[in-house]
Amino acid sequence: MDQTRPFPQASTPRGPAGSVGPVPADPARQRRHRAEPLTPAPRLLLFDLDDTLCDYTSARDQRLRRAFGPAARRLAGRGDPAPVLDRLVAASVAVHPHGADHFADLLREQGIDEPDLAEAAVDWYRINRFHGLTMFADAAATVAALRTAGGGPPRRVGVITNGPADVQRAKIELLAIERLVDFVVISGEFGVWKPDPAIFAEALRLGGATAADAVFVGDSVEHDMAGARAAGIRSVWVNPTGRPWPGPDAPPDREVADLSALLPLLEAAPAPAP
Ligand SMILES: [Mg+2]
């Protein structure tokens, strides 16, 4: 299990092995949490990239902390800069979870009206785009094991990721994603973004599978779960913090706290070859 993700406190009762957090009282949620295999077993497995295979959020927060370090030390004076840094990072993510255009305004609001300091923060953040970015510890081994889980011919694996072509392509190279999967579809290259079903259809085409033969695994309710649903593909929601399903759409077919919890979901007999 990946140790970098936050999990519910150990003192809370846990659900079935591999499931998220406390035992859910809601019967629909209990069904979703079950480690019961998806039947028929998919022939094609599709993954989101950021915060599903790689730990984007932790890396982004580390990157913000480095970028805002000098400003936090200035604001803290002789005090501890850590709480100031926490505040700056939280404020920045609230304004824009990915960009840096707002840094100068944000620092000004916090009492630092020093353009050089803001510019240095923006530069550091942009230059060190992939600072601290790694795959989740269990991602590579789990994806490899998922190819053959449940027996039958090895299943194909693909990635569908939203983002600019240059950024996502560089990230895929850095993380050696293409050694792990059969194909990658990047929204910035393909021309439409998740949740548009067209990008899921492209992945099905590349994977040589129908929607009924595939399962999509991702963390985003809006992009991954909504998109898979629109494309008629079964879905597994990666939900490490155990947050409730927000609706209003019907919930995903399964919900897991981490990638290794996918393994028991793929232990059904594979569907007969078409
Ligand atoms: Mg994601």
Model pLDDT for residues 24-57, shown as the tens digit of each residue: 556 666 556 667 889 889 999 999 999 999 999 9
Write down the pTM of the prediction.
0.84
How much distance in Å is there from the Cα of 55 to the middle of ligand 1?
9
**Nearest to 267, CA basis, from 149, 114, 174:** 149
Cα of 73 from ligand 1 centre, angstroms: 32
Render pLDDT for 190-208 as a digit per residue (tens, 0 to 9).
999 999 999 999 999 999 9
Q: For residue 26, what are the CA distances in angstroms to 29, 151, 191?
A: 5, 33, 39
Cα 73 from Cα 21, distance rounded (Å): 37
pLDDT score at 151: 86
- Alpha helix (H) residue ranges in the chain: 27-33, 56-76, 81-95, 103-109, 115-127, 139-148, 165-174, 187-190, 197-207, 226-231
- For residues 16 and 156, what is the distance between their CA atoms, to the nearest angstrom? 28
Q: Which of 171, 240, 229 is nearest to 200 (CA)?
A: 229
How far does the centroid of ligand 1 lie from the alpha carbon of residue 149, in Å?
A: 24
Q: Measured in angstroms, how far is the CA atom of residue 242 from the centroid of ligand 1?
A: 16
CA distance 94 to 57: 13
Instruction: Outline where 96-210 has alpha helix (H).
Output: 103-109, 115-127, 139-148, 165-174, 187-190, 197-207
Which segments in the chain show pLDDT lower than 50? Answer: 1-21, 23
Cβ neighbours for 245, distance < 8 A, ≥ 6 positions apart: 29, 32, 221, 237, 251, 252, 255
Cα(17) to centroid(ligand 1), Å: 23
Give the list of residues 6+ apart from residue 63 with CB closer than 8 angstroms, or none.
125, 128, 129, 131, 132
In sequence order, the β-bridge partners of residue 218 are 237
Distance CA 228, CA 160 (A): 11
Distance 220 CA to ligand 1 centre (A): 5
How far is Cα 252 from Cα 200, in angstroms, rounded to an integer? 16
Distance between CA atoms of residues 22 and 11, nearest Å: 9
CATH class, 27-55+134-266 region: alpha beta
Distance from the CA of 209 to the center of ligand 1, in angstroms?
23
* Domain edges within the chain: 27-55+134-266, 57-127
